[in-house]
Amino acid sequence: MAPRAESLLPEQFGPLQGVRIISTGTIVAEPFAAALAAEMGAEVIQIERPKVGDVTRSLANGIDGEGPTINHLWAQDRRNTFYTTLDFATPEGKEIFLRLVAGADIWMESSKAGTYSNWGLDDATIHAVNPALVITHVSGYGQTGHPDYLNRASYDPIGQAFGGTMGITGSPDPEPPMTARPLAADYTTSQMCLWSTLAAYIYALRTGKGQVIDLAQYEAVHKVLSGTMVEYFSSGVNPERRGNKSGRSQPFGSYHAQDGWLVIAALGSVFDRVCGVLGLDTSDGQWDEARLNLDSIPGIEFDAILRGWVEERTVQEVVEIMNVAQVGCSAVMTPKDIAENPHYKAREIHTEWEDITLGRKIKGIGIIPKFSETPGKIWRGSTPLGYDNDTVYGHFLGLDTTELDQLRERGII
Please give the full DSSP string across 67-124, using - where no structure is assigned: S--EEHHHHHH--SEEEEE--TTSHHHHHHHHHHHTT-SEEEEE-STTHHHHTT--HH
Q: Over the stretch 215-225, which tens digit does the pLDDT of each residue have?
A: 999 999 999 99
The one catalytic residue among 186, 303, 355, 388: 186
Return the pLDDT at 248.
Answer: 77
pLDDT over 90 (residue 3): no
Q: Measured between alpha carbons, how far is residue 108 from residues 44, 254, 347 in Å?
A: 10, 39, 32
Return the pLDDT at 257.
Answer: 98
Find the mean pLDDT for residues 230-241: 93
Q: Over the stretch 344-390, which tens digit does the pLDDT of each residue have?
A: 999 999 999 999 999 999 999 999 999 999 999 999 999 999 999 99
Q: In the chain, pLDDT over 70 holds for what percent of residues?
A: 97
CA-closest candidate to residue 37, choices 80, 5, 8: 80
253: confidence class by pLDDT, cuts 50, 70, 90: very high
Residue 384 CB coordination number (10 Å)? 13
Residue 167 CB coordination number (10 Å)? 17
176 secondary structure, DSSP code: P
Lowest mean pLDDT among 19-28, 191-200, 205-214, 292-301: 292-301
DSSP assignment of 124-165 equals: HHHHHH-TT-EEEEEESS-SSS-TTTTT----HHHHHHHHSS
Which residues, in sequence order, are bridge partners of residue 139?
Answer: 216
Return the pLDDT at 245.
Answer: 76
Distance CA 116, CA 411 (A): 19
Domains of the chain are 20-224+348-409 (3.40.50.10540), 252-333 (3.30.1540.10)
pLDDT over 90 (residue 93): yes
Find the mean pLDDT for residues 315-329: 97
285: confidence class by pLDDT, cuts 50, 70, 90: confident
The strand pair at 106-110 and 20-23 is best described as: parallel
Return the pLDDT at 80.
Answer: 98
CA-closest candidate to residue 322, choices 366, 268, 265: 265
Contact by Cβ (8 Å): 131, 208:
yes
Return the pLDDT at 64.
Answer: 61
Distance CA 36, CA 376 (A): 10
3-class DSSP state of 360: strand
373 phi and psi, to 5 degrees?
-105, -30
pLDDT over 90 (residue 118): yes
* 3-state helix, strand and coil shares in percent for the chain, rounded to the nearest 5: 40, 15, 45
Is the sign of the CA dihedral 228, 229, 234, 238 positive or negative? positive
Mean pLDDT of the chain: 94
294: confidence class by pLDDT, cuts 50, 70, 90: confident
Q: Over the stretch 132-150, which tens digit does the pLDDT of each residue have?
A: 999 999 999 999 999 999 9
Which residues, in sequence order, are bridge partners of residue 71?
Answer: 62
Return the pLDDT at 67.
Answer: 58
Is residue 186 annotated as a catalytic residue, yes or no? Answer: yes
Return the pLDDT at 244.
Answer: 80
pLDDT over 60 (residue 1): no
pLDDT over 60 (residue 65): no
Distance CA 85, CA 413 (A): 5
Return the pLDDT at 266.
Answer: 93
Largest distance between two CA atoms of the chain: 87
The strand pair at 106-110 and 134-139 is best described as: parallel
